[in-house]
């Protein structure tokens, strides 16, 4: 199955994520799932109050974004759009949800990654430990197909570019045309000029990285990825799937 999950709070760039999903689906049958997540309501309420609190409130602007997404998907012949509201989340529940929905790709918008809600940040941590590929959209949406990728190789991973290309070719059409070694202790300002030059010379429109499972405990100080200032989309692949 080639279904795509898009976590959302129905901000404007949700539409960009849906456009990307439609392009990735190409001519394949695909279900694009818009997912909202929130904590369980206080169980001290009555059953009726709990049911009311489990109905997500949406503003007129959010409804308008949803309708735009529906119109975009309805204009295709191979994609359908579903909306799912998830209350409460855990690692096993998320795994079962991804399996049940047949998710082959998760797309994260730039806005959703900056959510300050503690529950949503916890959800993002759990999502990072799942084995589905995650496409992090850049700060500026550009309606083009991904063609040339730069592999940001973590020295500790030991995954070669040829091995990675073999894996991505099974699901994606882009080609890895360059690679750069990155180290956890590197500061973004040290490597950004080098990466920017490589991106410019090779017409790079996508970055590829591998990730390893991490503890889901929220950190007070969040490490900024070395590629964060480059503005390009990043495809993150779980190391156990490579």
Regarding whether 234 and 185 lie in a shared domain, the answer is yes
Query: Both 109 and 83 in a single domain?
Result: yes
What are the C-alpha distances in Å from 15 to residues 34, 121, 143, 184?
A: 11, 21, 12, 33
Structural domain for 164, as ranges: 148-241
103 and 187 fall within a common domain: no
Are 125 and 183 within one domain? no
Model pTM score:
0.88
Using CA atoms, how far apart are residues 177 and 217, in angstroms rounded to an integer?
Answer: 36
Question: What pLDDT shows up at residue 154?
Answer: 80
Q: Residue 141: its pLDDT value, please?
A: 65
Residue that has been written with the tokens 């100080």 in this structure:
221
E strand intervals along 21-78: 30-38
Residues 18 and 35 sit within 8 Å (Cβ to Cβ): no
Give the Å distances, CA to CA, from 174 to 27, 147, 153, 170, 236. 17, 4, 17, 11, 14
Matching residue, tokens 């940040």: 121
Neighbour tally for 214: CB within 10 Å:
10
Q: Do 122 and 235 belong together in one domain?
A: no
Using the 3D structure, point to which of 103, 136, 169 is the last residue of a domain: 136
38 and 95 assigned to the same domain: yes
| Inside any domain, residue 67 | yes
Same domain membership, residue 30 and residue 122: yes
**Range from 21-35, 81-95, 146-160 carrying the lowest mean pLDDT:** 146-160
Residue 165's pLDDT is 92
**Block residue for tokens 């990285």:** 209
- The whole-number pLDDT of residue 18 equals 96
Helix (H) or strand (E) holding 154: strand 148-154
Q: Is the pLDDT of residue 97 over 90?
A: yes
Nearest to 28 by CA among 48, 46, 4, 6: 4
Distance between CA atoms of residues 145 and 24, nearest Å: 8
Examine the fold and report which residue of 136, 163, 197 is the final residue of a domain before the chain moves on.
136
Q: Is residue 141 part of a domain?
A: no
Under the banding of pLDDT at 50, 70 and 90, the label for residue 221 is: very low
Does 26 lie in the same domain as 125? yes
pLDDT digits (tens, 9 = 90+) for 158-202: 788 888 999 899 889 999 999 988 877 667 677 888 899 999 999
**pLDDT tens digits for range 26-41:** 889 999 999 999 887 6
The verdict on 155 and 118 lying in the same domain is no
CATH number at residue 171: 3.40.50
CA distance 137 to 113: 10
Closest CA to 145 of 110, 172, 178: 172
């Amino acid at each position: 199955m080639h279904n795509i999950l898009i976590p959302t709070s129905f901000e404007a760039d949700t539409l960009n994520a849906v456009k990307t999903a439609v392009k990735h689906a190409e001519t394949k049958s695909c279900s694009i799932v818009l997912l909202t997540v929130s904590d369980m309501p206080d169980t001290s309420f009555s059953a009726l109050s709990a049911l009311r609190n489990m109905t997500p409130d949406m503003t007129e602007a959010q409804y308008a974004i949803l309708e735009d997404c529906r119109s975009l998907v309805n204009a295709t012949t191979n994609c359908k759009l579903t909306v799912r509201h998830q209350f409460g989340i855990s690692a096993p529940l998320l795994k079962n949800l991804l399996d049940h929905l047949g998710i082959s790709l998760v797309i994260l918008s730039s806005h959703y990654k900056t959510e300050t809600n503690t529950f949503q940040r916890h959800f993002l941590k759990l999502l990072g430990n799942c084995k589905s590929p995650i496409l992090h959209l850049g700060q500026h949406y550009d309606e083009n197909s991904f063609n040339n990728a730069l592999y940001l190789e973590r020295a500790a991973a030991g995954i070669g570019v040829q091995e990675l290309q073999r894996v991505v070719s099974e699901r994606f059409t882009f080609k890895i045309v360059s690679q750069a070694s990155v180290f956890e202790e590197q500061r973004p300002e040290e490597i950004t000029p080098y990466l920017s030059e490589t991106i410019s010379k090779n017409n790079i429109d996508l970055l590829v990285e591998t990730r390893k499972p991490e503890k889901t405990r929220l950190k007070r100080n969040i490490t900024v990825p070395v590629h964060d200032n480059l503005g390009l989309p990043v495809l993150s692949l779980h190391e156990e799937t490579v």
